[in-house]
Amino acid sequence: MKPLEQIRNFCIVAHVDHGKSTLADRILQLTHSIEDRNFRDQVLDSMDLERERGITIKSHPVTMQYMAKDGLVYDFNLIDTPGHVDFNYEVSRSMAACEGAVLVVDVAQGVEAQTVANTYLAMENNLEVIPVLNKIDLPNADVEGSIRQIRDVLGIEMKERLCISAKTGSGVTELMEAIVREIPPPKGTREETLRALVFDSVYDSFRGVIAYVRVMQGCLRSGDKILLMATGGTTVIKEVGVFKPKQLAVDSLGAGEVGYFVSTIKLPAELKIGDTVTSAVAPAVTPLPGFKRVRPMVFSGVYPITADDHERLKHGIEKLSLNDSAFTHMSESSAVLGFGFRCGFLGLLHMEIVQERLRREFDLNIINTYPSVVYRVFMRDGTSIELDNPINLPDPTHIEHIEEPMIRASIICHNENIGDVMKLVRDRRGALDRTDSIDQLRVMLICTLPLNEILVDFHDLLKSVSHGYASMDYDYAGYVASDVVRMDILLNSEPVDAFSCMVHRTKAQSRGRDICALLKDAIPAHMFAIPVQAALNKTIIARETIRALRKDVTAKCYGGDVSRKRKLLDRQKEGKKRMKLVGKVNIPQKAFISVLKAGM
Ligand code: GTP
């Protein structure tokens, strides 16, 4: 058992791509936590999707032993965290399990939007922040500039110059010494009443729910009967262990330690992330301060392409929601798409990733509907509803007004791009609140924008107008009244509920035109002409027509080879199976995707 003075719990935070995962790799190597022959880059990014996209999606805890220069062996509990805005909730949860944060700043880039956001988050969690300057091996490294920005923008005076290259490993040992010196050891004793924080969980089909915990006080042993304070459920611990980085069973987890437990909990829904675990026999009086409860801000319908897959989709969604507490779901049905689920996400990247995981990990063919934010609809009779699906919008004659969610965005860009960035912000119904200078070259623009306007492509456009240099982070900034209306899309004069969306009245026409044009391209010609229309409250505001055509797949087969013709016709039939039949119109999956691309 380690004395608390020899435990350091910390996380690494940074802007995307500033080198967190690479630094975690170096620390793992230098502490010999992974045998060299098992080593591969970004060891902690275990999901294929994470490796492919080069981003960290889930937090990954790991326990390492570090022999410090003072001759003592320290337990380092490192929690690698994701850097993308959508995953801020993961960052804040991980922080609650730590006493310190290593803040990585890429010296070729300087302080970026999420560097600022993550630093504030760490300070709110009372963490000791150690800034480190990474990528000093790069030719365009600007160490002095980065130090100045850390001081001026973040308000942190660097106690020492920690210059590292996570890639080559240079300076990383000095960083580990700073971790020992600067990050306070955990408090609490093993003798107190047990209180442990569940900061994450994963689902294992053999062992059930595996909860990731940080013990704050007391001790957790296998065989213990525990109480989950928020849900009131009790369970018996079957195994406790640590991450090395693979799970390794141990006798007990004491105050200050980070690890996992396996219990009799089988169902994902029984464990709430952020819950406090205590003894069922002698429970603590008060739970630990919980996490900031994350609320999904973006909703979209997720439907199986074939109705037979509904059960499999349900299973997949339930499993993913355990690994991802910010992902919510409930059953819904659509006239067009049949039975499916209304899912809630933190943002668009989060949505894409969940959908991608459903496709890959559960081999599901799914359709998702146009994403929507949550509107507040105030009725003339004084009641109000929260609307996350345009289909449920009440009759407009009964509506008094509608409010939409806003965000406060911090955008860091070069001075010469301010004009283009501001044009983009204004096009998206946004306004500039304040400008802060970062250094001679860059500024931070604080803007207010409707969340709806940044949902689909804002981030991509921001990158493109700034030649890849602008970075952005955002926070929610309440609701304001707005003239939003529902736009319906009609195919062959029938409304397709899955294509309905809420738009600001001033943008309805151009959006309607875009969607009609995209659908015209995405839907194959049928035997009859198909009008594609956009309508506001039954008034048509845009129209395209898909011309009639029969695609004769057997045209090239001269003569009599019947079997070949059959094969081609069968293949055509197969292709049709992958489409959704709406009235008489077959809608391919790509039509649902292309609607997402319509300009805002
Ligand atoms: P997310 O997981 O997406 O938040 O990114 P991250 O912050 O974990 O960044 P990651 O470690 O994936 O590094 C991003 C890129 O920078 C990779 O291509 C790394 O090889 C590279 N990189 C990281 N550290 C260094 C460094 O010290 N020098 C150089 N030259 N490149 C580095």
312: CA distance to ligand 1 center in Å? 37
Residue from 12, 22, 23, 163 to probe ligand 1 pocket by mutation (most atoms less than 8 Å from CB): 22
pLDDT per residue as tens digits for the range 520-549? 988 888 888 889 999 998 899 999 998 887
Distance, CA of 188 to CA of 200 (rounded, Å): 21
Task: Name the residue type at position 472.
Answer: M
Distance 379 CA to ligand 1 centre (A): 51
Ligand 1 centre to CA of 142 (Å) is: 17
CA nearest 442: which of 416, 408, 463?
Answer: 416
Query: What is the dihedral angle through the alpha carbons of 260, 262, 265, 268, rounded to the nearest 10 degrees?
Result: 50
pLDDT at 435: 94
Q: For the stretch 261-276, what's the b/e string if a residue is b when 16 or more beta carbons lie within 10 angstroms of its beta carbon?
A: bbbebeebebbbbbbb
pTM for this model (two decimals): 0.75
Tell me, using a 6 A CB cutoff, whether residue 83 lines ligand 1.
Answer: yes
Positive or negative, the CA dihedral 346, 348, 351, 356 is negative
CA 423/CA 465 separation, integer angstroms:
10
165 lines ligand 1 (CB under 6 A): yes
- Two tokens at 273? 């992330």
3-state secondary structure 248-313: EEECEEECCCEEEEEECCCCHHHCCCCCEEEECCCCCCCCCCCCCCCCCCEEEEEEECCHHHHHHH
Which atom of ligand 1 is least distant from the CA of 138? 30
| Residue 14 CB–ligand 1 contact under 6 Å | yes
Q: DSSP 3-state assignment of 225? A: strand
The reported pLDDT for the residue numbered 427 is: 93
C-alpha span between 427 and 449 (Å, rounded):
10
SS3 505: helix
- 149: helix, coil or strand? helix
The answer to whether the CB of 22 is under 6 A from ligand 1 is yes
CA distances from 176 to 1, 20, 99, 181 (A): 21, 14, 15, 9
Q: Answer yes or no: is the C-beta of 88 below 6 A from any ligand 1 atom.
A: no
Does residue 135's CB lie within 6 angstroms of at least one atom of ligand 1? yes
> Looking at ligand 1, which residue's alpha carbon is closest to its atom 21?
19
pLDDT at position 323, please? 67
What per-residue confidence (pLDDT) applies to 433? 96
Burial grade of 362 (CB within 10 A; 0-12, 13-18, 19 or more) = middle
Run of H or E residues at 122: helix 113-124
- Residue 164 CA, closest ligand 1 atom number: 27
| Adjacent-strand bridge partners of 64 | 76
DSSP code of residue 599: -
3 state SS of 431: strand
Whether the CB of 51 sits within 6 Å of ligand 1: no
Q: By three-state DSSP, how is residue 150 classified?
A: helix
325 lines ligand 1 (CB under 6 A): no
Mutate to test the pocket of ligand 1, among 11, 13, 16, 17 (most ligand atoms within 8 A of CB): 17
Residues 6+ apart with CB under 8 A from 39: 25, 28, 29
Q: Is the CB of 17 under 6 A from ligand 1?
A: yes
- Compute the C-alpha angle 514/431/418, nearest 5°: 90
Burial 41-59 (b: 16+ CB within 10 A, else e): ebbbbebebbeebebbbbb
Q: How does strand 471-482 pair with strand 399-414?
A: antiparallel
Strands 100-106, 7-14: parallel, antiparallel or unpaired by DSSP?
parallel
107 lines ligand 1 (CB under 6 A): no
Give me the amino acid identity at 545: T
- pLDDT tens digits, the chain, 600 residues: what are they? 789 999 999 999 888 889 988 998 899 889 887 766 666 665 555 555 555 554 454 557 889 999 999 999 999 999 866 656 566 666 777 788 899 999 999 999 999 988 888 898 899 889 999 999 999 999 999 999 999 999 998 999 988 899 999 999 999 999 999 999 999 999 989 899 999 998 888 878 788 889 999 999 999 999 999 999 988 899 999 999 998 878 899 999 999 999 999 999 887 777 877 889 999 999 998 888 865 566 788 899 999 888 889 999 999 998 887 767 678 899 998 877 889 999 998 877 788 888 888 888 888 888 888 888 999 999 999 999 999 889 899 999 999 999 999 999 999 999 999 999 999 999 999 999 999 988 888 999 999 999 999 887 788 889 889 888 888 888 888 999 999 999 999 988 888 888 889 999 999 999 899 999 999 988 888 888 889 999 998 899 999 998 887 555 555 656 666 677 677 667 666 655 556 666 677 787 778 777 766 655
Q: Secondary structure of 77-103 in the HEC alphabet?
A: EEEECCCCHHHHHHHHHHHHCCCEEEE
Put residue 324 in one of left, alpha, beta given phi > 0 → left and psi -120 to 50 → alpha: beta
